[in-house]
Amino acid sequence: MNTADLVKIAEGANGPVYVYDAEKIKRQYERLTSAFSGVGKLRLHYATKALNNISILKYIQGLGAGLDTVSIQEVRLGIQAGFDPATIIFTPNGVSLNEIEEVAKLGVQINIDNLSILEQFGSKYPDIPVCIRINPHVMAGGNSNISVGHIDSKFGISIHQIPHLLRITENTNMRINGIHMHTGSDILDIDVFLHATEILFETAKNFRNLEFIDFGSGFKVPYKQGDIETNIEELGEKLTAKFNAFCSEYGRQLTLAFEPGKFLVSQAGYFLTKVNVVKQTTSTVFAQVDSGFNHLIRPMLYGSHHEIENISNPNGRERFYSVVGYICETDTFGSNRKIAEISEGDFLAFHNAGAYCNTMASNYNSRYRPAEVLWINNEAHLIRARENFEDILRNQIELDASILSGKATVEA
């Protein structure tokens, strides 16, 4: 898809809209499968929380993926989208035993990341195979906000607690069929990541009935020019060799699993907004768009960089702008960005808007959440309607004036 296609969608959208390019999702999926083509059995569990539109899920299911889920609602979405429950893995953190039981009853692979629930679940259901999430305590990324493998992380069962873990699995006689780790969202250094996989292999030797090892995700994609990207091809080559060697030693061909979210969908997404006001102050030129952190919160939440392009004037002379929203709150998308000259009414496209953008949207300021469009076979298809005023009021209960004024209590 090109800039003119995006402008056309923006013009027809009547408000902010997310656009996803199916071809790009497919290309990323194929990059990953071909990097690991040397593995006998490979499974990619797409991380639903990155982008959960049902049409996207169906599309990714069609590519041959399984699903990674973190809530029973995501599991239900996946089943609704056509995923076989056996291809869904449930990797929650801190959810109740009750929710895990409900998901297990749907036939979904359970992944447990704490000893308390492991013991309770194992005592109650020794026959349901369980995967365990290990924390190898390896910092795979540079940003401590999103690396979840370090010592004080709340995620996973610490490798230092393996003896305790083994006592639980022996006492309950439960079956461990998978070992899992997910060390964070940024694999900058492949050797650090491979070091974590070594720890996982060591741990795996404690269990005789394994069917798979799941290495989570953390594949880094570029958000701006010059960004380091995980070298998938190099990782594929090195990890394949290690994995195959481990399987020979273990005595059985296991499935190698990953849970890519960002890698599959980030670059496929564009968020299209319209410039309401160009505001020149004594120091800055602001471009104010018809959006805010209610639609795209990553820049404000994590300081994430999203490239911003003026698709209405792509070849215009570049000037410096601060792109901000219309929310009554701090909502700077980007400061001092070099962007082709902006006029009021122009459409700005935010890049890398496929992952963790619309799924984090809210109704703050009583604004509607955006529409979503899938670009496939050179055509735009609406896959989520923009919200309307009824959506804002949905589930709100308007109490009777007599209660609110306190007069009703007299009669009661």
Ligand X SMILES: *Cc1c(COP(=O)(O)O)cnc(C)c1O
Q: Is 219 in the site for ligand X (CB under 6 A)?
A: yes
Spell out a b/e string for 294-309, using b for 16 or more CB atoms within 10 Å of the CB, else e: bbbbbbbeeebbbbbb
Catalytic residue among 131, 247, 328, 357: 328
Sequence-distant (≥ 6) Cβ neighbours of residue 226 within 8 angstroms: none
The region that residue 175 occupies, defined by phi over 0 for left and psi between -120 and 50 for alpha, beta otherwise, is: beta
Q: With binding defined as CB under 6 A, does residue 372 bind ligand X? A: no
Per CB under 6 A, contacts with ligand X among 331-360 are 355
Q: Interface with ligand X includes 269 (CB under 6 A)?
A: no
Nearer to ligand X (CB atom), residue 260 or residue 292: 260
**Token reading at 209:** 């009935």
The one-character DSSP state at 147 is: B
Residues 170-189 that bind ligand X (CB under 6 A): 182, 185
Q: Candidates 75-83, 118-126, 253-261, 321-329: pick the segment binding ligand X (CB under 6 A).
A: 253-261
Rule CB under 6 A: is residue 70 a binding residue for ligand X? yes
Chain residue at closest Cβ approach to ligand X = 261
Q: Which is nearer to ligand X, 91 or 322 (CB)?
A: 91
| Distance of alpha carbon 65 from alpha carbon 205, whole angstroms | 27
Among 20, 29, 83, 263, the residue binding ligand X under the rule CB under 6 A is 263
Which residues in the 82-101 window bind ligand X by CB under 6 A? 91
* Residue closer to ligand X, measured from CB, 216 or 269: 216
CB closer to ligand X, 180 vs 367: 180
CB contact at 8 A, 306 and 299: yes
Which residues 6+ apart lie within 8 Å of 281 measured at CB?
none
Beta bridge partners of 286: 279, 322
Tell which positions 271-310 bind ligand X, by CB under 6 A. Answer: none
CA distance 121 to 4: 54
Tokens linked to 145: 């906000």
Which range binds ligand X by CB under 6 A, 114-122, 228-236, 240-248, 254-262?
254-262
260 part of the interface to ligand X, by CB under 6 A: yes
Catalytic annotation on 328? yes
Nearer to ligand X, 185 or 312 (CB): 185
Number of H helices, E strands in the chain: 14, 18
Does 262 bind ligand X (CB under 6 A)? Our answer is: yes
CB of 219 to ligand X, least distance (A): 6
Smallest distance from ligand X to CB 297, Å: 15
288 sits in the region (left: phi over 0; alpha: psi -120 to 50; else beta) called beta
CA atoms lying within 13 Å on the CB side of residue 262:
18
261 binds ligand X (CB under 6 A): yes
CB 352 within 8 A of CB 221: yes
SS3 385: coil
- Are the C-beta atoms of residues 161 and 117 closer than 8 Å to each other? no
Interface residue with ligand X, options 216, 299, 354, 370 (CB under 6 A)? 216
Residue range at the interface with ligand X (CB under 6 A); choices 44-52, 95-103, 202-210, 312-320 = 44-52
Q: Which residues bind ligand X (CB under 6 A)?
A: 47, 49-50, 68, 70, 91, 182, 185, 216-219, 259-263, 355
User: Known catalytic residues?
Assistant: 328
